[in-house]
Structure 1
């Protein structure tokens, strides 16, 4: 496994970790969560189209168009929608825990779809990441006596968000590896954004709001997905998903630096578990036997 793959995915996780910072500032501008999701996809699509035009990567095989559209609906529309519903009905903390069940979903789906072997190291790393996220997001709320609001619909929506988030890895590794990242998202982003349109209430925006939305799309979608798929071409899906779980650590660090939000003791324990899992994957990457079974075309 190429160490560059690890660095690419860490870069993607760092950019994804900035989503909360941008969102907090944009929400303060009076823009709703679903409108933020719509513009995030829309601006990222424009940038991917420009990129693909310059690199002549606009074309996709006609036979692959249905798959690209399905990828957009599943991994943009369904993911964004289910996560918002989970936050509404299960609360932010539990929704975040359920979202980061993604490494477990990836591990299972990788065995079933990609035929990757579920090694003891993978099992340990997945367990550590799930425990780490629970310590960051769930334990503080339990200790403070917060209501977890464990209703069935919220629970199902949260699990769906984790599974659809995991499908980014499976689609990319199994079906879309032959395309450059810009080509994939030229088709997937509009397919995912358009179904959100009926649920969006558009608001007037200041120049600051437009710039924040543009930065959100450019960094957390265009930049993050470009780095992530470059990494996924060099890593097994399960290992990539574990490394990407570094995202909540980045988000919490930025929240502390910018907004004064602090970890509880359990939060520091959770961060240590996640970082340790990432380091285990990095160390395993030095083992030549852990290389992917197939090497897709290089990321452009």
Structure 2
């Protein structure tokens, strides 16, 4: 079955947009934010490991294994955990928008670590991101808690998410992405384990946790990767930017979360800045930055 590439990217964006919604559902059922993150890493990591085993993908060794383990702590333990904490503190829509600060962090990291000279586009995007965060902070909204904790966890999520680009730029050309994630996610789960308090879970909570791992992590990546192989990165970035729109729409429908007009303008600035930076990436780097 030949599925159109734009449809595959759209499916990935919708599945990623469900991440905060499903996480909020699980938390409402009594599962702690960090336990949600832990189960996401455990269950999705198992799927990636199975995928790597079936395809006989080469796993990282030596120094590459060490770097992948460090990435597992930062890109899985901290990223997965901070995102769910942002959902708990501020709501699913706010967490999804703040995640889109990642491209601005990529530009700053490229400037600071890779000595990539920023151009006017990067400078404008970083300024737009900062202005957007300021407007979101001032605007708030109904059912959206724009607190220091919500902004802090959301920005930490955006920063650690940006590390996927740098890590992917170095390793996704050498190893299959699912082989790297088969290592990084279990390491990330171990990093979260000491901070998790386990709770009794209802069938509904388990359904949300499984859906996060299967749909919003494993299948979303597969759909995006398949679509990106047949679609220019620029078009893929534009379609994928529907993710926070999906998250905000569902949060309004299911949880009565509504950003104020001022906060919506700020969200538009953040997403617009992310788009202006994302369309400059090569397909390989784009894939690296989109594995949520």
Q: Please give the TM-score of this superposition, normalised by the length of structure 2.
A: 0.73
* Aligned match of 2:15: 15
The structure-2 alpha-carbon separation of the partners of 1:143 and 1:208, relative to structure 1 and needing over 3 Å to count, comes to closer
CA–CA separation in structure 2 for the residues paired with 1:223 and 1:19? 12
Number of residue-to-residue matches in the alignment: 278
User: Max radius of gyration: which structure?
Assistant: 1
What CA deviation, in whole Å up to 9, does each residue of 1:5-59 have, x standing for no partner?
9987765544332112101221222111111111011110111122222222153
CA–CA separation in structure 2 for the residues paired with 1:143 and 1:260? 7
How far off is 1:92 after superposition? 2.9
Q: What are the ranges of 5 or more consecutive residues in structure 1 without an aligned counterpart?
A: none
The structure-2 alpha-carbon separation of the partners of 1:78 and 1:291, relative to structure 1 and needing over 3 Å to count, comes to closer
Q: Please give the TM-score of this superposition, normalised by the length of structure 1.
A: 0.72
Does the CA-based 8 Å contact 2:83-2:157 persist in structure 1? yes
* Aligned match of 2:139: 140
CA–CA separation in structure 2 for the residues paired with 1:173 and 1:217? 24
Does the CA-based 8 Å contact 1:245-1:274 persist in structure 2? no
CA RMSD of aligned residues (A): 4.3
How far off is 1:155 after superposition? 8.0
The structure-2 alpha-carbon separation of the partners of 1:119 and 1:226, relative to structure 1 and needing over 3 Å to count, comes to farther
Does the CA-based 8 Å contact 1:79-1:165 persist in structure 2? yes
What CA deviation, in whole Å up to 9, does each residue of 1:68-96 have, x standing for no partner?
111101111233455567789xx538x95
* Aligned match of 2:67: 67
Matches within 5 A, 1:220-231: 220-226=216-222, 231=228
The structure-2 alpha-carbon separation of the partners of 1:53 and 1:46, relative to structure 1 and needing over 3 Å to count, comes to same
* Aligned match of 1:196: 192
The structure-2 alpha-carbon separation of the partners of 1:73 and 1:5, relative to structure 1 and needing over 3 Å to count, comes to farther
Please tell me whether residue 28 in structure 1 is matched to residue 33 in structure 2. Answer: no
Does the CA-based 8 Å contact 2:6-2:239 persist in structure 1? yes
Q: What are the ranges of 5 or more consecutive residues in structure 2 without an aligned counterpart?
A: none
Does the CA-based 8 Å contact 2:98-2:154 persist in structure 1? yes
* Aligned match of 1:211: 207
* Aligned match of 1:76: 76
How far off is 1:62 after superposition? 3.7
Does the CA-based 8 Å contact 1:34-1:196 persist in structure 2? yes
Does the CA-based 8 Å contact 1:17-1:248 persist in structure 2? yes
* Aligned match of 1:92: 90
CA–CA separation in structure 1 for the residues paired with 2:284 and 2:157? 29
How far off is 1:189 after superposition? 0.3
The counterpart of 2:164, out of the listed 146, 151, 168, is 168
